[in-house]
Structure 1
């Protein structure tokens, strides 16, 4: 087979794999992992189930590929708008995180809770996305991704709170996203102020113009 034919076959395989992952994201959004068999997946996708094994080796491999794709989108959305001023980027990062959670609730819950049971591979994916989000916040706040341990611990504590607040917000479906975003940004501001007290190398960033406070009605 010529190199051009090989490239064409590889591109078609990548496209097909991406299509299957897109189908998986929709399936796992509406149905639990245990409730879906490979036969179910193949039927929904309109393919022979052998293709699932060909591209992903197993149902679990397929599930992990779907989660990894979801994580990549979450990180990309949260880390966008790099050309903006630092303070505004922090706000956009938080809003991007919430926007993703609002529109991909099943995938978000899987990412932050660790998947099916105690799945070490999904746990590793979750830990990786946490580290990337912390680095994204640090870059927006301080202009660098590497920060001292005390600062990292403080941001990890803030992010853990963000995860739980977001899960509760999704369950209650109120208040609106803008109000939750304003709350989380202000909590982050308090965290950054505390970090500055412990770490002189991480001074508190200058305040950004924030939207007017939105009443947090319940």
Structure 2
């Protein structure tokens, strides 16, 4: 096999792996890890179970690959459209985050809570996404990622509040009469909390003045 053929084979292999992960993202979006067997996954993917084992050592390895892909998508949404004015960028970021959580509920719960039981690898993925989102947040607010410890703690506190509020928002309502806020209402709540957090940081850390969230200021 020449190099051209090898590259073609590698591309096909990568494409097939990507297709399997895409199937997993759809399946795990609203279905828990324990509720899906490898037979279920193979049937939905339209492939033999052995093909999945060719690309992934076991169900857990497949699941971790799906979670990592979901994390990459979530972080990409948060860092997108840097050309927008700051207020629009914040709203766009929070909207994207809430949209992802609402449409990938099981996957979002996995990312936020740490996955299957006390799975150390999934917890590491969770910690990684928090760190990356925190860096994106600091960069957007202050133009740098190396912020003082107090500022970092405050931003982390806001992110923790976002996770808790979002988890509750996407949970099934206890009764049909429960009033569930719209995505726009939740977005405005989170943006308001962020504004208050930035103002609190400014009062405690003079080198981190509160950035304007006025639509007219980039």
Same fold (TM over 0.5): yes
How far 1:29 sits from its partner (Å)? Answer: 2.5
Give unmatched runs, 5+ long, in structure 1: 211-218
How far 1:170 sits from its partner (Å)? Answer: 1.1
Structure 1 residue aligned with 2:213: 207
Aligned length: 210
Q: How is 1:90-101 mapped onto 2 (pairs within 5 angstroms)?
A: 90-101=90-101
CA contact (8 A) 1:78 1:95 kept: no
Report 1 or 2 for greater relative contact order, CA contacts < 8 Å, sequence distance ≥ 6.
2
How far 1:45 sits from its partner (Å)? Answer: 1.4
Structure 2 residue aligned with 1:114: 114
Give unmatched runs, 5+ long, in structure 2: 174-178
CA distance in 1, matches of 2:164, 2:189: 13
What whole-Å deviation, never above 9, does each CA across 1:6-45 have from its counterpart, x for those lacking one?
Answer: 1111111111001001111122224321122222211221
Deviates more, 1:156-165 or 1:77-86: 77-86
- Cα separation, partners in 2 of 1:12 and 1:167, compared to 1, 3 Å: same
CA contact (8 A) 2:38 2:49 kept: yes
CA distance in 2, matches of 1:198, 1:6: 58
- Cα separation, partners in 2 of 1:31 and 1:98, compared to 1, 3 Å: closer
Question: Does residue 174 of structure 2 align to residue 168 of structure 1?
Answer: no
Aligned CA-pair RMSD:
1.5
